[in-house]
């Protein structure tokens, strides 16, 4: 987190980050992201704009200079949009706290960012991946349970890493998940994932000397402590190499595949939104574009008057 200093902008940023933690109950990862974005603003003022001004001295022209700097650095539009949203939140906080009279970031235009279609696997590719871990070793049983759970429940990797044994309700066939913004939701678990979890729990051994948060963890590393998100990513990289699947595949790809396969098989968008834990239906709608694109490709390949070269006479 940014250390507070004598300059009022530093103090404002530090107070803003504290408010995210205390008032909005944001996760450490979210606060880290905000902190990194605001460090970029401080670096711009300190290195390129003649020094860091007080928060009440920053106007829209100063922030437009920062936006121009981001353009010159050739940041992705998505990065720029996120940083501008961060600025708006910071200055809303400053207005509320009486540190400035108005929000100079309010007039900034957010660059339009074209949304990429999410990368997903076909059902055959998913099966190939899920069957890659060996079923006769404890690490293999754990890895199978991880992959099955990610795909069966459509979890974010941080949600999976945060699961405790008590979050898995075998009788109800659900896991209780702590999602973004520390919002809880219930995710169904299919029979394949349930069996994989049972097999893993039969051999799971926690480190009895570890803190309680590690001993409670559903998924453990080889030392018997809570598995990290980076460890999950490294584990997946190993099986991607073994199976020859697309190198673009990440733990989040299984979440994308979960949503895409549900919609392909008739699930309604609102239900998928609830299962994914999306706050806005707009976020979930990207998967309808995936399904529509696949439908178009199937049509182009199968319909004789859709094929290239089939010009009307």
pTM for the complete prediction? 0.64
Strand order through the sheet with 168-169: 168-169, 174-178, 184-188
For residues 280-294, average pLDDT: 71
Segment 80-87 mean pLDDT: 91
Label residue 120 by pLDDT band (50, 70, 90).
Answer: confident
pLDDT of residue 247: 86
Determine the pLDDT at residue 295.
60
Residue 2 reports pLDDT greater than 60: no
How many residues belong to the chain?
313
**What tokens were used for 35?**
């902190």
Q: Write out pLDDT tens, residues 18-65.
A: 999 898 888 888 899 999 999 999 999 998 888 898 988 999 999 999
Distance CA 38, CA 189 (A): 39
Catalytic residue among 142, 226, 255, 256: 255
Query: What's the mean per-residue pLDDT of the chain?
Result: 87
Q: Which of 156, 204, 226, 261 is catalytic?
A: 156
- ∠ at Cα 107 (52, 35), nearest 5°? 45
**CA–CA distance, 125 with 10 (Å, rounded to integer):** 49
Task: Identify the active-site residue in 180, 214, 225, 294.
Answer: 180
Domains in the chain, CATH or no CATH each: 8-107 (1.10.150.130), 123-299 (1.10.443.10)
Mean pLDDT of all residues in 211-224? 94
pLDDT grade, residue 116 (50/70/90)?
Answer: low
Q: What is the pLDDT of residues 93-104, one digit of tens each?
A: 999 998 888 899
Q: 82, 216, 278, 294: which one is catalytic? A: 278
> Known catalytic residue: 170?
no
Yes or no: say if 57 and 7 are a contact pair by the CB < 8 Å rule: no
* Active site (annotated) includes residue 182: no
Query: What is the pLDDT at residue 4?
Result: 42
pLDDT, one tens digit per residue, over 169-202 is: 999 999 999 888 778 899 999 999 999 999 999 9
Q: What angle do CA 183, 258, 231 make, to 5 degrees?
A: 70
| Residue 18 neighbours by CB under 8 Å, 6+ apart | none
Judge whether 252 counts as a catalytic residue.
yes
Q: Is 287 designated active site?
A: yes
């Amino acid at each position: 987190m940014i250390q507070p200093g004598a300059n009022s902008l530093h103090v404002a940023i530090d107070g803003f980050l504290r408010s995210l933690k205390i008032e909005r109950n944001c996760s450490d990862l979210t606060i880290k992201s905000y902190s990194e974005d605001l460090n970029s603003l401080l670096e711009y003022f300190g290195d390129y704009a003649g020094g860091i001004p007080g928060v009440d001295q920053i106007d829209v022209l100063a922030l437009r200079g920062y936006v121009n700097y981001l353009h010159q650095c050739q940041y992705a539009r998505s990065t720029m949009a996120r940083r501008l949203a961060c600025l708006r939140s910071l200055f809303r906080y400053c207005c509320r706290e009486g540190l400035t009279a108005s929000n100079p970031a309010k007039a900034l235009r957010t660059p339009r960012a074209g949304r990429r279609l999410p990368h997903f696997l076909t059902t055959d590719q998913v099966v190939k991946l899920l069957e890659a871990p060996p079923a006769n070793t404890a690490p293999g049983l754990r890895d199978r349970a991880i992959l099955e759970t990610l795909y069966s429940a459509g979890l974010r990797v941080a949600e999976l890493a945060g699961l405790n044994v008590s979050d898995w309700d075998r009788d109800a066939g659900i896991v209780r998940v702590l999602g973004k913004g520390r919002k809880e939701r219930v995710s169904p678990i299919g029979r394949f994932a349930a069996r994989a979890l049972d097999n893993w729990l039969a051999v799971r051994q926690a480190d009895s000397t570890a803190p309680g948060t590690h001993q409670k963890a559903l998924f453990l590393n080889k030392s018997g402590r809570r598995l990290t998100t980076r460890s999950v990513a490294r584990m997946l990289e190993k099986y991607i190499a073994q199976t020859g699947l697309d190198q673009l595949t990440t733990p989040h790809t299984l979440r994308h595949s979960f949503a895409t396969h549900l919609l392909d098989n008739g699930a309604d968008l609102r239900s998928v939104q609830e299962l994914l834990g999306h706050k806005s239906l707009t976020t979930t709608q990207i998967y309808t574009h995936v399904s529509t694109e696949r439908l178009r490709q199937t049509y182009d390949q199968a319909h004789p008057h859709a094929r290239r070269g089939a010009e009307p006479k």
